[in-house]
Amino acid sequence: MFYYRPTVPAAYADIEALSTSVAFGSLVRNMHRWGAHLMVLTVFLHMARVFYHGAYKPPREFNWVVGVVLLFLTLFLSFTGYLLPWDQLALWAVTVGSNMAGFVPVFGDQVTFALLGGVEVTGATLLRFYVLHVLFLPFILVIFMAVHFWRVRKDGGISGPL
Amino acid sequence: MADIPESLLRRSAEARAKALGVPVEQVLSEMGLSAGGETAGPPAEEVVSTGSADLPEDTIPEEPEEAAAPEPAPAAEPAAAAAPAAAASDSRVPEALLRRSAEAKAKATGRSTEEVLAEMTGGAPPGVEPPPAAPEPAPAAEPAAAAAPVAATETAPVTEEASTDDTVPASDSGRTTTVTAPPVVPPQGTPEGVRPQRLLTVVRAKSIQQVKAEPTDKVNVWPHLLLIEFVALLGVTAFLIVLSVILQAPLLELANFNATPNPSKAPWYFLGLQELLTYFDPQIAGVTVPTVIGLIGLMAIPYVDRNPSTKPSDRKFAIMFFTFFLVASATLTIIGTLFRGPGFNFSYPWSDGIWFDDLKDWISFE
């Protein structure tokens, strides 16, 4: 946030500067990116484990639902972060990804518009994703995580092994 | 014998001594004698008959007879001679099992099944090395083990023992001890001291031991859980740092609306969907699958699956169902990530390269 400005002219240059002229900038950026991928992977694995242990069964049904919400929040968080470097990879990955949202029946166009702040990925999208990524989604995510952990304790600790 | 811990041996002797009303030392020495196998003689056999007759139910692991009655079995045995038949009934092994083991053994030793069967049921040639002792922890195993060498060398004690045994169940309401090591004669080539394979009988499933422990105590989250979690946190952080030192996060050229890369790919966790889009109409692959299966389906799992059991064997359908989707999405994702090249056409990563920028140039030191 100190080194990055979510605007079309500045974003890419800021990322480049971050990885070349900031102390440990490259390392931190790498950790951020690989950590994000690992996070998504871990969430999937966690979901599979919970399923195979049958840990979603009463009384934990509600916590499973919270977990599914967290899964999608994680995906969305990762997805919004994907755009921020504003390179070719980011631009077109998000374009492809958000095109899928356009297939939503009836509201497809509106969903895309709300997501991108326009009909296609632009500087408005960059700003929008930035705010979602650093402010809005973490906020929601922390709330759901708190509920998730609270339910873990309330429902009786971790599920046992098979 | 060497593989049975001293303490187990002693415990078993104690239980037996209690049941028989004799000193522990005596039983222990007898057990050592009978377990040795080579010197099994009259004294050991005496223990046999009293042992199987008198042991109260709670001191021995009860393994009720699987075959219907001890008597009709030998009569039904077609091919075997009279003496082997008696021996077979004595060992209380269902005929089918005996036969199966004989077949396996015949195959292993290269002889005919009938020959092995006859040998197993008591007609073993003298001079063959006696079979090893039966498993120790069950005291009831002793009689059989002690009897086995005898059966292998002479036939007379066998019939004698059979007769004692036959009278016992009548008073014992059909409850007999069945831990029988059928006289497995080791293959001819087995050197002295080498333990040949043992054949165990099948008994009704009933655990001797309470396997599943009830929770007996509780521990605090700190330090018992949090310490482990903290160590895991350190480990993951270390791994991430190492990974980040080695692997550079991709940064391609500046975004350009006029240069669509070929292929354009979504982030990897969406590539399964993108792959699906090549097969189905967007309405199905882009909307129905993620919302109905992904969102609603996942959330509904605990409300649809009301089966309270968490045992895998009770939830075969649920596991199968979930695994199907898991494997399907993993397969689609892998295909979409690695096996799709320009134009999103199929390509092989080993010949055409990787067309996924997060993985491209993975190993590159800066």
pLDDT tens digits for A95-115? 887 777 777 777 777 888 888
A72 neighbourhood in chain B, CB within 8 Å: 295
Q: How many C-beta atoms surround the C-beta of residue A46 within 10 A?
A: 13
Please identify among residues 47-106 of chain B the ones whose CB lies closer than 8 Å to any CB of chain A. none
Q: Please, how many CA atoms are within 13 Å of residue B206, restricted to the half-sphere of its CB? A: 9
A104 neighbourhood in chain B, CB within 8 Å: 287
Question: CA B331, CA B336: separation in Å to the nearest integer?
Answer: 8
Split at pLDDT 50, 70, 90, the class of B254 is: confident
Q: What is the pLDDT of residue B266?
A: 82
Split at pLDDT 50, 70, 90, the class of B365 is: very low
Architecture of domain B263-352: Orthogonal Bundle (1.10)
Q: Please, how many CA atoms are within 13 Å of residue B357, restricted to the half-sphere of its CB? A: 21
B247 neighbourhood in chain A, CB within 8 Å: 30, 34
**Residue A1 located in a structural domain:** no
Total number of domains constituting chain A: 1
Q: What is the pLDDT of residue A71?
A: 93
Question: CA B13, CA B25: separation in Å to the nearest integer?
Answer: 8
**Residue A132 located in a structural domain:** yes
**Residue A67 located in a structural domain:** yes
Nearest CA in chain B to A64: B299
- Contact between B92 and B65 under an 8 Å Cβ cutoff? The reply is yes
Among A29, A56, A93, the residue with its CB nearest the CB of B267 is A93
Asked whether the predicted pLDDT for residue B324 surpasses 60, the reply is yes
- Contact between B83 and B183 under an 8 Å Cβ cutoff? The reply is no
Q: Please, how many CA atoms are within 13 Å of residue B19, restricted to the half-sphere of its CB? A: 21
Q: What is the pLDDT of residue B118?
A: 79
- Contact between B302 and A56 under an 8 Å Cβ cutoff? The reply is yes
pTM value surpassing 0.80? no
Q: What is the pLDDT of residue B91?
A: 53
Residue B207 C-alpha from the chain's centroid = 14
At residue A25's C-alpha, the angle toward residues A23 and A28, to 5°, is: 125
Q: Structure tokens of B174?
A: 């059909």
Question: CA B324, CA B320: separation in Å to the nearest integer?
Answer: 6
Q: Structure tokens of B4?
A: 């049975």
CATH of residue A100:
1.20.810.10
**Residue A159 located in a structural domain:** no
Domain ranges of chain B: 6-171, 263-352
Residue A34 C-alpha from the chain's centroid = 13
Nearest CA in chain A to B319: A52
Give the mean pLDDT of chain B.
67
Amino acid at A34: W
Please identify among residues 236-255 of chain B the ones whose CB lies closer than 8 Å to any CB of chain A. 236, 240-241, 243-245, 247-255
Question: CA A4, CA A33: separation in Å to the nearest integer?
Answer: 15
DSSP reduced 3-state for B89? helix
In this predicted model, which residue has the larger pLDDT, B95 or B234? B234
Judged by CB atoms closer than 8 Å, whether chains meet at B311 and A162 is answered as yes
Nearest chain B Cα distance for residue A130, angstroms: 16
Nearest chain B Cα distance for residue A63, angstroms: 10
Asked if A53 has any chain B CB less than 8 Å from its own CB, the reply is yes
In this predicted model, which residue has the larger pLDDT, B193 or A145? A145
Q: Structure tokens of A8?
A: 């079309």
Asked whether the predicted pLDDT for residue B277 surpasses 80, the reply is yes
Question: CA B194, CA B237: separation in Å to the nearest integer?
Answer: 52
Asked whether the predicted pLDDT for residue B293 surpasses 70, the reply is yes
Q: Which domain holds residue A49?
A: 8-154
Asked if B38 has any chain A CB less than 8 Å from its own CB, the reply is no
